[in-house]
Amino acid sequence: MDSQLPLTDRRFFLGHFAGLGLGGTLFPGVLWAHIKAGAEVTDASIIAAAEIAGMTFTDDERKQMLTGIKNQPALIAQLRAVPLENAISPAMVFNPLPTNAVLPTGPSKAPVRSHVTAPAIPGNLEDLAFQPVTVLSELIKSRKITSTALTKMYIARLERLNPTLLNTITVTRARALGQAAAADEEIARGKYRGALHGIPWGAKDLLAVKGYPTTWGTPAYKEQTFDEDAVVVQRLDAAGAVLIAKLTLGELAQGDIWFGGMTRNPWKPTTGSSGSSAGPGSATAAGCVGFAIGTETLGSISSPSTVNGVTGLRPTFGRVPRTGAMALSWSMDKLGPMCRAVEDCALVFGAMHGPDGRDRSCHDTPFSWNANIPLSKIRIGYIKSAFDLPMTERQHLSKPFDDAVLAVLKTLGVDLIPVELPELPYGAMRLILTAEAGAAFDEFTRSGKVNQMVQQNPGAWPNTFRSAHLIPAVEYVQANRVRSVAIAKWAELYKTVDVIITPTNAPNQLTATNLTGHPACILPHGFRDDGTPTSITFLGSLFGEANLLRVAHAYQQATNFHLKHPTLT
């Protein structure tokens, strides 16, 4: 996170966008979680623990509890003796679907794309650096340019700009050039795999890539390697895409600070790229990759898409398999594309989605991109209270940009439906994330490796991981029960609309939709006086990415904010 970002202040990013680390004073807990095996648990221990948990017990009640609680440290020690790799998920699997919901079925259809005319090849190939996938794919398909030439151009650009932007951890040169050569050979003999064939891309460095380090952005894992590619990497390989780099992330998926420094915003390199998909946001905005893959748990696609002025898609929870990706929160982690345009996101997502048989949260539902679906067939709402807030009461002072989005849609013939978000304690439900993150990095914390992390402050992971041990198990379960209420209420909301437009910074929308698993598309909708971009967010129904992207695409085609790019040398 960056304290100088005009979008918000550091505290807001810690709490709402990158928002993955929570201070330990926010939640009650159980004192005996820190008692070592073999240590004596006394009546005083129970009194102290009860006070922290907000409970009161009589003398007789504490006496009855004491025998059982004395056994807890030994039982916990037995559990901790079982080795648990980060990839091992809990037996409980989160499902964002409300009761009696029916998933869409049937096969995905071939994408119906917008018409794109391939431009002439410029004298300097770097003039193609900011072209979207839709254009690059036409150039490759028509053999006006080779994947090898495009790959070499992007690698050279990455290597030249990385000392300034710090958005790349590893350039996968040998792998990339091999893939590019193979793509060129296939295309030359008439085998064209589709829109991603030969397109260079970058992966957030929490996706495993065989033969290269997967660092998770933090010193303790700088040399970590895996023997198998992440499933998303495998699927993009199968689509013919060319992986050219492992891109930066804030360490262990928070913020934009990693062991090599702070990833920079290409629009204003004195500031950070935000996080935790900091590298994908920065590299895409800087024209260093054709597209990138990021992840979001609580804002890690939304925030860097906003700050870097790129178009990001956070899919429905359970749409894309996370096999081979670092786990932070098993019930909230999501993988999605970060691109230069909405249609790019649709094409990349089309290659990513669907179950792999290993990520048990992943559902088998079709996705069919059609750029020509009439908007009249899609019910479009907007969060009225968020748009009605006066400038003086709005965070980030984005009202003129937000209002302009509604005006554009009205010119497209959209009949906007006012809606309001269900009112629930979404902030309190964030203890779900804290507890799951603490579990994902439990051994890392207890071993002391957490002390090697670059960031050591109240809002950073070390403090959050320790604090997670003081969240009562009962409250974690209760928070998930309240989450079930939220899912039901959001299901009612989406009976009246298919897509909802919201200011990106609208109160509660980011936390709420990450908890309920709804998809979002974040795209630029203006620029401040200092030249940095702003964003608007489109929210879709569960597994409703096709309608979501269609509406966002229509808005984007009627504006030109996504066509602007930073000036870099």
* Catalytic pick among 147, 274, 277, 300: 300
Answer yes or no: is 4 within a domain.
no
Whole-number Å distance between alpha carbons of 553 and 521: 10
Confidence band (pLDDT; 50, 70, 90) for 51? confident
What's the burial of 85, exposed, middle or buried (CB within 10 Å: 0-12/13-18/19+)?
A: exposed
Whole-number Å distance between alpha carbons of 439 and 463: 14
Contact between residue 296 and residue 314 where contact means Cβ atoms under 8 Å apart? yes
Whole-number Å distance between alpha carbons of 263 and 163: 10
Residue 1 pLDDT greater than 50, yes or no: no
Rounded average pLDDT over 282-294: 98
Answer yes or no: is 154 within a domain.
yes
Answer yes or no: is 378 within a domain.
yes
- Which two tokens mark 8? 């918000």
Pairing assessment for the beta strands 242-247 and 168-171 based on DSSP bridges: antiparallel
Answer yes or no: is 534 within a domain.
yes
Write out pLDDT tens, residues 161-217. Answer: 999 999 999 999 999 999 999 999 999 999 999 999 999 999 999 999 999 999 999
* Catalytic pick among 152, 204, 246, 399: 204
* Catalytic pick among 276, 303, 329, 541: 276
Q: Is 300 a catalytic residue?
A: yes
DSSP secondary-structure letter at 207? B
Point out which residues pair with 246 in neighbouring strands. 170, 203
Confidence band (pLDDT; 50, 70, 90) for 50? confident
pLDDT of residue 390: 82
Residue 86 pLDDT greater than 80, yes or no: yes
**Helix locations, 269-322, DSSP H:** 278-285, 302-308
Rounded average pLDDT over 540-557: 98
Q: Is 222 a catalytic residue?
A: no
Write out pLDDT tens, residues 142-169. Answer: 999 999 999 999 999 999 999 999 999 9
Q: Which of 519, 513, 517, 511 is CA-nearest to residue 22?
A: 511
Whole-number Å distance between alpha carbons of 236 and 290: 13
Average pLDDT, the chain: 92
Write out pLDDT tens, residues 500-536. Answer: 999 999 999 999 999 999 999 999 999 999 999 999 9
Residue 124 pLDDT greater than 70, yes or no: yes
DSSP secondary-structure letter at 112? B
Centre a 10 Å sphere on the Cβ of residue 201 and count the other Cβ atoms it contains.
29
CATH of the domain at 389: 3.90.1300.10
Alpha-carbon dihedral sign for residues 548, 553, 558, 561: positive
Whole-number Å distance between alpha carbons of 359 and 529: 45
Q: Is 142 a catalytic residue?
A: no
Residue 258 three-state SS: strand
- Report the phi/psi class of residue 299: left, alpha or beta, with left for phi > 0 and alpha for psi in -120 to 50: left
Write out pLDDT tens, residues 342-386. Answer: 999 999 999 999 999 999 999 999 999 999 999 999 999 999 999
Contact between residue 422 and residue 385 where contact means Cβ atoms under 8 Å apart? no
Answer yes or no: is 446 within a domain.
no
**Helix locations, 293-379, DSSP H:** 302-308, 342-352
Residue 6 pLDDT greater than 90, yes or no: no
Contact between residue 175 and residue 203 where contact means Cβ atoms under 8 Å apart? no
Residue with tokens 């996706």: 207
Contact between residue 125 and residue 150 where contact means Cβ atoms under 8 Å apart? yes
Answer yes or no: is 396 within a domain.
yes
Range of the domain at 247: 10-19+97-109+129-362+372-425+479-563
Confidence band (pLDDT; 50, 70, 90) for 100? very high
Number of domains in the chain: 1
pLDDT > 90 fraction of the chain, expressed in percent and rounded: 86
Answer yes or no: is 468 within a domain.
no
Burial 503-521 (b: 16+ CB within 10 A, else e): bbbbbbbbbbbbbbbbbbb
Point out which residues pair with 521 in neighbouring strands. 313, 538
Contact between residue 276 and residue 250 where contact means Cβ atoms under 8 Å apart? yes
Whole-number Å distance between alpha carbons of 385 and 382: 9
Query: Dihedral through CA 458, CA 87, CA 330, CA 519, nearest 10?
Result: 110
Whole-number Å distance between alpha carbons of 517 and 126: 38
pLDDT of residue 393: 66
Answer yes or no: is 464 within a domain.
no
Whole-number Å distance between alpha carbons of 204 and 307: 17
DSSP 397-427: G-HHHHHHHHHHHHHTT---EEE-PPP--HH
Confidence band (pLDDT; 50, 70, 90) for 41? confident
Q: Which of 338, 311, 340, 347 is CA-nearest to residue 130?
A: 340
Rounded average pLDDT over 401-421: 97
User: In Å, what is the CA distance from 75 to each residue of 32, 37, 104?
Assistant: 12, 8, 44
Global confidence as pTM? 0.93
Residue 107 pLDDT greater than 60, yes or no: yes
pLDDT of residue 39: 61
Lowest mean pLDDT among 47-61, 303-317, 477-491, 549-563: 47-61
Pairing assessment for the beta strands 257-258 and 261-262 based on DSSP bridges: antiparallel
Total H helices, total E strands in the chain: 20, 15
